[in-house]
Amino acid sequence: MRKFIPGSLLIILPGTIVLLLSCTQGSCFEETESFLKASFYDNATKTLIAPDSLTLYGLNNDSLIYNKTVSLQPALIPLNASTESCTFGIQINGVTDTIEFQYSSYPHLISKECGYTFYHQLDTLPKFTKHIIKDIYTSNKTVTNQNVENIRIFY
Amino acid sequence: MWKTFAYSISLILFLNCRLIQVQAQDTIPIPLKIKVGLEVSGPAIYYSDKNILNEEGYISVDLDEKYSAVFAAGYLNFKYSQYNYTYFNHGSFIRIGMDFNLLKPDKSQGKYWAGIGLRYGLSRFNSKVPSFQMTDYWGTTSSSLPPKTNWGHFLEACPGMRAEIFNHFSIGWSISIRMLLYTGTGKDLRPVYFPGFGDGTKTLAAGMNYYIVWNIPYKKINAILKKPVPEDTEDTEDNSDKSNSGTSGTKGNRQQGSIIRQ
């Protein structure tokens, strides 16, 4: 026994040291942005139907989020963590509406590798114009980086 | 009358033999010790990486040749920085629990330990995020999290080995597998790393500890050696008798075999 344990230690110690030294810093493979996920439904049949064309942009922002995108389901809508409300212009099959979201943002640690992001909590029901959009149903008020539907847009 | 007398004598002799057998049961003197251990890999890692300083030690008291009560305490100072955030955490922790020596007394001799420890850990830490950035469609958003003190709770299993290499001094290592119970920070702001546990973003964490231990003997006990249960000799004899009586030729062969072996 006296010989057994020191011998084992000699074998196992270097192995574990190598194992420790081989630990490298990981990479971030997770979604780091929290998007509001909007699914599109046909108002007549209440079935999931993607628009033929979808254009989406934030008011007071020059760039487009989607530009005449075909058959998109769901749309990922980025909320601004620096403000408490956000208004988007949404063009469904060539007809434009606006949707306003009011929310509160809070930090969330994704992982050591990915760092922090902001989650959002929808405070009120979305306000919207009704040119093509008939109704908006809020299915989940918490906007996270997970793939969970937040609103249903009936058009 | 003679039969009763003979039976009584036989019974006394039998009981006497059993008594002698119990008294003559093998024992081995095992010194019970108070052990003071210092973890050495923490300072060694700090030598190469100034962002993490972990110092810890423990005191254990042998309750008998198998069980020891353990109290460990330590301190952590942790800094982490990458492109989108900086994180600081410092604090202290304690662990209390038991060590179980799986070696038999004749193998351990009070000098060797190979077994498993089970602990409950409690950590008090102060963390802060001086800055973090997130870039999205709306641009870059910067924020920070102020310093906050929290209590973390966890369980730990730590199999390992120790060997006395010099008089009263041991070295050893253990693998730590920890399960997070509660961080006190809420699910959104779990600690990136916290004292005594490690990566607080995961429910399970693993680690490796290397110890130098000072052993202070305080008492000697006689540990009973459990011998393997001997086979029932009567049955064996009966069986051999039966086999011998049934096949007399086999007996002869056995005798021949034993002669050949000699």
Does residue A12 register a pLDDT over 70?
no
Provide φ and ψ at A25, rounded to 5°.
-65, 135
Beta bridge partners of B148: B127
Query: Do the chains contact at A109 and B136, CB–CB below 8 Å?
Result: no
**What region, left, alpha or beta, does residue B62 occupy, with left being phi > 0 and alpha being psi -120 to 50 degrees?**
beta
Q: Does the structure show a pLDDT above 90 at B5?
A: no
Higher pLDDT, B252 or A141: A141
Best probe of the B interface among A116, A119, A120, A145, by most B CBs < 10 A, is: A116
Share of chain B above pLDDT 90, in %: 61
Buried b (16+ CB within 10 A) or exposed e, B236-252: eeeeeeeeeeeeeeeee
How many domains are there within chain A?
1
Q: How many CB atoms lie within 10 A of CB A122?
A: 19
Of B84, B136, B193, the CB nearest to A115: B84
Q: Is the pLDDT of residue B249 over 90?
A: no
Higher pLDDT, A114 or B228: A114
Q: Tens digit of pLDDT for each residue in B171-194?
A: 999 999 999 999 988 889 999 999
Residues in chain B closer than 8 A to A18 (CB atoms): none
Q: How far apart are CA B219 and CA B143, in angstroms?
A: 59
Instruction: Among B2-16, B21-35, B80-94, B184-198, name the one with the lowest average pLDDT.
Output: B2-16
In this complex, do A116 and B129 lie within 8 Å of one another by their Cβ atoms?
yes
Report for A12-26, A51-65, B84-98, B221-235: range of highest mean pLDDT: B84-98
Residues 6+ apart with CB under 8 A from A127: A99, A100, A102
Work out the pLDDT band at B27, boundaries 50, 70, 90. Answer: confident
Element (H, E) at B133: strand B112-136
Q: Is the pLDDT of residue A123 over 70?
A: yes
Domain that holds residue A126: 28-154
Query: Tell me, what's the pLDDT at B256?
Result: 36
Q: Is the pLDDT of residue B15 over 50?
A: no
Task: Reply yes or no on whether the pLDDT at B220 is more than 90.
Answer: no
CA distance B243 to chain A (A): 41
Structural contact between residues B88 and B128, judged by C-beta atoms closer than 8 angstroms: yes
Q: Is residue A13 part of a domain?
A: no
Residue A27: band (very low, low, confident or very high) from pLDDT cuts 50, 70, 90: confident
Q: Which chain B residues touch A119 with a CB distance below 8 Å?
A: 188
- Summarize pLDDT for A58-87 with one digit per residue, the tens: 998 889 999 999 989 999 999 999 999 999
For residue B89, give the nearest of A118, A17, A144, A109 by alpha carbon. A109
Has residue B247 got a pLDDT over 90? no
Q: Which residues contact A49 (CB under 8 A, 6 or more apart)?
A: A40, A41, A42
B134/A65 touch (CB, cutoff 8 Å), yes or no? no
Instruction: For residue A1, tell me if it sits in a domain.
Output: no
Q: For residue A13, what pLDDT is reported?
A: 58
pLDDT at B29: 87
Give B252's pLDDT tier (boundaries 50, 70, 90): very low
**pLDDT at res. B245:** 39
Average pLDDT of chain B? Answer: 82
A6: chain B residues, CB-CB within 8 Å: 163, 165
- Sheet with A151-154, side-by-side order of all strands: A75-78, A35-41, A151-154, A135-138
Tell me the domains of chain B and their CATH numbers.
Answer: 27-224 (2.40.160)
Has residue A33 been placed in a domain?
A: yes
Q: Write the DSSP string, A25-55.
A: -----S--S-EEEEEEE-TTT--B---S-EE
H/E element holding A9? helix A4-21
Span A7-29, average pLDDT: 59
Q: Tell me how far apart the alpha carbons of residues B101 and B64 are, in angstroms, rounded to a whole number.
A: 10
Interface probe, candidates A109, A111, A113, chain B, greatest B C-beta count within 10 A: A109
DSSP notation for A64-86: EEEEEESS--SEEEE--TTSSEE
pLDDT at B225: 77
Residue B213 φ/ψ region, left for φ over 0, alpha for ψ in the -120 to 50 degree band, beta for the rest: beta
- Asked whether residue A9 is domain-assigned, the answer is no
Closest CA relative to residue B85, chosen from A104, A140, A28: A28
Interface test with A, best of B45, B113, B136, B173 (most A CBs within 10 A): B136
Q: What is the pLDDT of residue B258?
A: 35
Q: What is the pLDDT of residue B257?
A: 34
10 Å CB burial of residue B18 (0-12, 13-18, 19+) is exposed
Partners of residue B54 in chain A, C-beta under 8 Å = none
